[in-house]
Amino acid sequence: MVLACCFRRNIFWRENPTHWIIEGFLKEHGPLPTARYSYSEVKRMTNSFRNKLGQGGFGSVYKGQLQDGRVVAVKILNKSDSNGEEFVNEVASISRTSHVNIVRLLGLCLDSSKRALIYEFMPNGSLDNFIYEEKNPLKVARHLDCKVLYDITIGIARGLEYLHRGCNTRILHFDIKPHNILLDEDFCPKISDFGLAKICPRKESVVSMLCARGTAGYIAPEVFSRNFGAVSHKSDVYSFGMMVLEMVGRRKNIKAEVDNSSEIYFPHWIYNRLESNQELGLQNIKNEGDDQMVGKMTIVGLWCIQTHPSARPAISKVMEMLESKMELLQIPPKPFLSSPSTSPVHLSFWLYKLMSFVFALSACFKIPFLPIYDVDAHHEPLHLVADIDRGLGLDFIAFPMRRSAQ
């Protein structure tokens, strides 16, 4: 009988190696400040997954209710070995946090190959539901007042400052975007989705990464190419800045168009309008106070997306800028990537667009994206490398990158 149990355990290990890796992680980190549920309990709390709230790259989210009556959001992760890392990242990072601007993880489920994460429920959904112009004439766009958007911006900055400086360990999110900002009944913002997060000691400001991570349009240039500098907390600042510019421009940064329908990089569109004192897209500017708040958000957003990390403010400085007077803020230099002109030293606009597209492709099919350096000594045109492993499919997408002269 003992041999039979061991045999079954070995089969289960071979079929579910990720399960045991996660179990080892949970055991190593001791008791977590979250409840653990079986899959049957998760099914019961979601009423057999009847109320679906949304779907993302890692799984689906359902509305549920705990036995004590609390309403929750339950993320059911897709059945994929790659989600083991996402599960561990989420639990390891968010279980260490306690802040009004960070969504709370209330429980988890690890039941064979089934994995779920249980969060506090946010009745107003995610920020992306409120900041873009509605293209569908059958739907009514939901606009937020400038003061609400401004308070949301400050709340997100406070949450990021807590992750970067307020925890026992520094947590880098790497996926700050409107979809990952949840809003409670009072529109208080909460940073969510820590599946791509990295944890490092507070004294370390630079992190090592084997492959790029994030969402196309919000990824800092140094995540693509180390020519721009090291990956650090300033990479989150870049994503934050791009999101803030979307809030004031009311459009997605990778779909901006000018009047003649020619394509233009979104920050370039924002910068030109700031220089010429044109409206950006917000329709609820009622007085000078609103105009001041929008102006501060715009200037801060442009500072945050400076090409080189050293030129970006830390998130603590961002908070100071947002809470200072408009006339005290200096207009930042135009970010290099805001121009489609090419340069022999830096990444061009079109290369950035191409890399964003390829990164989105790699994320869609869950293919690792690897920036590769020093492989183009003869100045050959940039080319993509796809490694095909014995006909099983695409293993990774790599960008050969030539380092700048030292």
Annotated binding site: 75
**DSSP reduced 3-state for 300:** helix
Alpha carbon distance 188, 13 (integer Å)? 43
Alpha carbon distance 153, 150 (integer Å)? 5
**DSSP reduced 3-state for 370:** strand
Structure tokens at 201: 């000691």
Alpha carbon distance 37, 132 (integer Å)? 37
Length of the chain: 406
Q: What residue has token string 């080892």?
A: 24
Write down the catalytic residue from 128, 145, 175, 193: 175
DSSP assignment of 135-174, as one string? --TTS------HHHHHHHHHHHHHHHHIIIIISSEEEE-S
What are the φ/ψ torsions at residue 50 (nearest 5 degrees)? Answer: -80, -35
Structure tokens at 23: 């179990």
Between strands 52-55 and 114-120, the pairing is unpaired
Residue stretches of the annotated binding site for ATP: 75
Alpha carbon distance 218, 196 (integer Å)? 13
Please say if 175 is a catalytic residue: yes
Q: Name residue 349's amino acid.
A: F
Which secondary structure element, helix H or strand E, spans residue 319, and what is its range? Answer: helix 315-323
Alpha carbon distance 398, 385 (integer Å)? 5
DSSP assignment of 47-91, as one string? TTTTSEEEE-SSEEEEEEE-TTS-EEEEEEE-S-TTHHHHHHHHH
- SS3 sequence of 224-286: HCHHHCCCEHHHHHHHHHHHHHHHHHCCCCCCCECCCCCECCHHHHHHHHHHCCCCCCCCCCC
Which residues carry out catalysis? 175
